[in-house]
Amino acid sequence: MGILDGRAAVVTGGGRGIGRGHCLHLAEQGASVVVNDLDGDEAQKVVDEIGEKGGKAVVDTSNIATRDGARALVQKCVDSFGAIHALVNNAGNVKDRSFLKMSDEEFDAVVQVHMYGTFRCSQEAALRMREQGTGGSIVNTVSAAHYGNFGQTNYAGSKGAIASMTYTWAVELARHGIRVNAISPSGTTRMSASAKVGGKVVELPFIDPNQNGAFVAFLCSDEADWVTGQIFGSGADRVQIVSQPKYATAMYLPGGLSVDGIVENFKKVFGKNLENVGLMKNPYPFYDGVKPAEGK
């Protein structure tokens, strides 16, 4: 007996890394799982592993970045298991390049998979969940990179968009019984091997990528039937809420905003209160001015 007995779930990019862990945990909790991945061989290994443990899973190799792929993926779940109750948008790629050098192709390749893939798969799944009348759970995937990370305009921008889409869909889909949350996972994977902070490759301590799956299984289950519109950091031994951007320090000028009033008061109010910049959450470094580096 598991918390997902009788449910059908789709995991995009489930053939390796973090998505593989999602598939294993969902199946262990009783869900039938569509393991989607462009890499069919890796997806088949996950399906075999689930089968060996007595679970049910099928491979799907649709390209989730396309409308046809998203539609075919959801249809595969319905054809295989009779319905779709959960969608985990996990598939991802990176094409890092500093902003001034990034090409349209590099930008588009990442936006298509993360942002459009999440949009298209979620829309296809939610339409089906509404038609079924069963409700359901969508779990999106963001990253701390969406706070801003050197070389990741395409990736950070897509993850920020996914965070905002998560909040928006939670508002729109609750009336259909569909919950929408996101995780900001962690794990040592093919993708994390190329992780850069401040433009430099960083070697991170090993984190088992499978461990995000336990939390994803929880979010997909009725145990979390009151949880929607939330983003959680997950992985290793931790689940941590990611707070939404919100209005903070304010300046009020009696009589309304004027350029003179702003020039006179801005530094007094915000001179120690600007937000951190970038993924590492270092204190604001530019109070003395943003100036060209020497020799640039």
Ligand X SMILES: NC(=O)c1ccc[n+]([C@@H]2O[C@H](COP(=O)([O-])OP(=O)(O)OC[C@H]3O[C@@H](n4cnc5c(N)ncnc54)[C@H](O)[C@@H]3O)[C@@H](O)[C@H]2O)c1
Alpha carbons 160 and 167: distance in angstroms, whole number: 11
Query: Which CB, 8 or 231, lies closer to ligand X?
Result: 231
Q: Environment class of residue 103 by beta-carbon count within 10 Å: exposed (0-12), middle (13-18) or buried (19+)?
A: exposed
User: What DSSP character marks residue 249?
Assistant: S
Closest separation in Å from C-beta 202 to ligand X: 11
Which residue's beta carbon is nearest to the bound ligand X?
17
Closest separation in Å from C-beta 259 to ligand X: 42
Q: Which residues touch 61 (CB under 8 Å, ≥6 apart)? A: 36, 37, 38, 39, 40, 43
CA distances to 61, 254, 264, 288, 290 from 267, rounded to whole Å, are: 55, 17, 8, 11, 15
Contact 214, 234 (CB under 8 A): no
Catalytic residue among 116, 147, 155, 284: 155
For the chain, report the end-to-end CA distance as a whole number of angstroms: 63
Query: Which CB, 17 or 213, lies closer to ligand X?
Result: 17
Contact 193, 5 (CB under 8 A): no
Contact 121, 74 (CB under 8 A): yes
Q: Does residue 287 have an active-site annotation?
A: no
Closest separation in Å from C-beta 11 to ligand X: 10
Rounded to 10 deg, the angle between the 153-173 and 117-132 helix axes is 20
Residue 105: CA atoms inside 13 Å, Cβ hemisphere, count? 0
Closest separation in Å from C-beta 62 to ligand X: 7
Closest separation in Å from C-beta 118 to ligand X: 9
Query: Which CB, 90 or 221, lies closer to ligand X?
Result: 90
Q: Environment class of residue 80 by beta-carbon count within 10 Å: exposed (0-12), middle (13-18) or buried (19+)?
A: middle
Residue numbers at the binding site for ligand X (CB under 6 A):
12-13, 15-19, 36-39, 42, 63-65, 90-93, 113, 117, 141, 143, 184-187, 189-192, 209
Closest separation in Å from C-beta 149 to ligand X: 11
Reduced to 3 states, what is the DSSP secondary structure of residue 64?
coil
Query: Which CB, 16 or 179, lies closer to ligand X?
Result: 16
- The residues annotated as belonging to the active site are 155
